[in-house]
Amino acid sequence: MDLEPFFKPKTVAVVGASRKPRKFGHVIFKNFVDTEFEGKVYPINPEAETVLGLKAYPSVVDVPSELDLTVIAVPALKVPSIVDDCITKGVKAAVIISGGFKEIGGEGAKLESSIKEKIEGKNLRIVGPNCIGVYDPVNHVDTLFLPKYRLRRPKQGPIAFISQSGAFGAAVLDWATSQEIGISKFISIGNKVDVDEVDLLNYLADDPHTKCVTLYVEGIGRGRAFLDAAKKALKRKPVVVLKGGMTKAGARATMSHTGSLAGSAAIYEGAFKGAGIIAARTVDELFDYARVLAYQPVPGNQKNVAIVTNGGGFGVISADEISRKGLNLAEFNSNTLERLRANLPDYAIPHDPLDLVGDADVERYRIALDAVSSDPNVGLILVIVLLQTSFIESDVVDAISEASLASGKPMVVCTIGGDFTQMLVKMLEEDQIPAYPTPGRAVNAINSLIQYSEVREIIERKSKQS
């Protein structure tokens, strides 16, 4: 794959690797020096002998080895000549961090087109400009110029995240770290002078570390190619997109009725739906969906939901949300009912939602989850566990994880609360059980998983049809 050098470079040069700790180039260079990055890294700085103890070179062409990746963090005006150097040197991939291009219009736009022309027909691939670049915890590639005490780096996980906006991407990475959410790859694509969401989607479709691809995009340049790439990726993994700027396109001609009804949002919605892309409308949804899609198995033909709860109210609200989404609760079979009646206290009525009542302990959860998850009438399980009672200890996490693994059925958790709850949410996250603070978000996540299972079914039907 031609994008491999961005994520698995053996040799990296950082152009603009300053000796001054606050400079972007310095932070980026330090990322490669400090982490477990296994390749060689070269500082490019014509004014320094060494940076962080490593010999500096005036230009990439002076570097004594081949270069897979070059990170460019110098003012925009200097960038075109560095791109020339990269081409001369035979660099395979470059990340242009620098801003001051198309996003400012005028001269900046001209600079950007000049770069586009330079790489036309050449082997050099470029991410950016005007971006924060690439973060790959698998191979320890980190071009993020924001220091680690400000922007913590998430651990490795199954979710790939492509963001058109650098600031949005950075904020999400920092937040993801705080939530124990792992990332397989992060790419901030900025102005997309070369590598765009289509290239990345094609690449990530084959990436063994990525189980779910998430994207934040504002404009999609190559609409049809994007849909084709998404369709290809969706055969193997879910794709969740948060599209910014979904307001009505004013410029559209409205000579026909169809034209006046075709706001850009309506067409995007139809285009995404047709391809099988899961559309997120909010930042919450983007990761709510990505987590369940990346962590949990896809349900089989049975899609009825069982709710197991220790709080009656949350059970009722969840049941409402389920019917609002057009989903169904499960009807437990006689075997399950018998098991529940025999092993639960009399006051726990064995129907869906299954209310284990406020004094439920972990053992009661074990019994209930085991019975419910082995019922063929149950497709997915929503476990509500409110941790404000003293009957439940943190081993409820084990009970849930074990039931999830044993049944092979998708399981999500709904829980809300303070520090103790947050600790358990992180433990669940470690076990790849997504937890959500409200019944609405939990049920939406369940719905996204069912949506993806339907997408898979359609893909299968289509492959048989053709």
Partner 1 sequence: MKECEDIIQKALQEGRSSLLIQESQQICKLHHIPTPVSYVVQNVDEAVTKGKLIGFPVVLKIISPQILHKSDVGGVVLGIGGEAALKESYPKLVAEVREKKPEAEVMGVLIEKMMPPSTEVIVGGIRDSQFGPSVMFGMGGIFTEVYKDVAFRVAPLDKIDALNLIHELRGSKILEGIRGQPPADMDALVKILLNVSSLMLQHSAVSQLDLNPVIAYHDVVCAVDTRIVLAKSDGGM
Q: Name which position in 253, 334, 346, 418 contacts partner 1 (CB under 8 A).
A: 253
Give, in order, the Cα–Cα distances in Å from 322 to each of 304, 318, 353, 445. 10, 6, 11, 11
- Which CB sits closer to partner 1, 48 or 262? 262
CA distance between the termini of the chain = 28
155 near partner 1, judged by CB under 8 A: no
- C-beta separation of 125 from 194 below 8 A: yes
**What's the 3-state SS for 329-361?**
ECCCCHHHHHHHHHHCCCCCCCCCCEECCCCCC
Among 258, 282, 301, 334, binds partner 1 (CB under 8 A): 258
Positions in 217-236 near partner 1 (CB under 8 A): 219-221, 223-224, 227
Closer residue to partner 1, CB minimum distance, 243 or 291: 243
Q: What is the x/- site pattern for partner 1, positions 419-438, by CB under 8 A? A: --------------------
Pairing verdict, β 239-243 and 278-280: parallel
Identify the residue among 21, 270, 300, 358 touching partner 1 (CB under 8 A). Answer: 270
Q: Which residue stretch of 11-19, 182-190, 249-257, 346-354 sits at the interface with partner 1 (rule: CB under 8 A)? A: 249-257
Identify which of residues 144 and 220 has a Cβ nearer to partner 1 in the complex.
220
- Here's the x/- map for partner 1, 288-307, by CB under 8 A: it reads as --------------------
Choice from 110, 324, 341, 462 touching partner 1 (CB under 8 A): 462
Number of residues that bind partner 1 (CB under 8 A): 27
If one asks whether residue 370 binds partner 1 (CB under 8 A), the answer comes out as no
Binding of partner 1 at residue 358 (CB under 8 A)?
no
Q: Which is nearer to partner 1, 219 or 376 (CB)?
A: 219
CB 377 within 8 A of CB 302: yes
The dihedral over CA atoms of 381, 176, 138, 234, expressed in degrees to the nearest 10, equals: 50
Two structure tokens written together for 226: 């994007």
Q: Which is nearer to partner 1, 119 or 327 (CB)?
A: 327
The count of residues in the chain is 466
Question: What is the residue type of 134?
Answer: V
Least CB distance to partner 1 at residue 300 (A)? 20
Distance CA 379, CA 382 (A): 10
Which residue stretches of 21-77 are H helix?
A: 24-34
Q: How far is the CB of 271 from partner 1 (least distance, A)?
A: 5
* Stretch near partner 1 under the rule CB under 8 A, chosen from 111-119, 120-128, 264-272, 321-329: 264-272
The closest of 126, 171, 119 to 144, measured between CA atoms, is: 171
248 binds partner 1 (CB under 8 A): no
Number of separate helices (H) and strands (E) present in the chain: 16, 19
Q: Find the binding residues for partner 1 in span 161-220 (CB under 8 A).
A: 219-220
Q: Which of 46, 274, 358, 376 binds partner 1 (CB under 8 A)?
A: 274
Can you tell me which of 77, 266, 349, 405 binds partner 1, judged by CB under 8 A?
A: 266
How far apart CA 75 and CA 233 sit, in angstroms, is 37
Taking CB under 8 A as the rule, does residue 262 contact partner 1?
yes
* Contacts with 72 (C-beta within 8 Å, 6 or more apart), sequence order: 15, 16, 79, 82, 83, 94, 95, 96, 97, 98, 128
Determine, following the binding rule CB under 8 A, whether residue 324 of this chain makes contact with partner 1: no
**Least distance in angstroms from the C-beta of 264 to partner 1:** 8
Q: How far is the CB of 108 from partner 1 (least distance, A)?
A: 24
Considering the complex, state which of residue 202 and residue 438 has its C-beta at the smaller distance from partner 1: 202
How far, in Å, CA of 228 to CA of 216, rounded?
Answer: 18
Please state, in angstroms and rounded to a whole number, the distance separating the CA atoms of residues 92 and 89: 9
Q: ∠ CA(89), CA(91), CA(97), 5° rounding?
A: 120
Whether the CB-CB separation of 98 and 151 falls below 8 Å is answered with no
326 lies in the site for partner 1, by CB under 8 A: no
334: contact with partner 1 by CB under 8 A: no
171: enclosing H helix or E strand: helix 166-178
Choose between 22 and 464: whose C-beta lies nearer to partner 1: 464
User: Max alpha carbon distance in the chain (Å)?
Assistant: 80
Q: For binding to partner 1 (CB under 8 A), which residues are involved?
A: 219-221, 223-224, 227, 253, 255-259, 261-262, 264, 266-267, 269-271, 273-275, 458, 461-462, 465
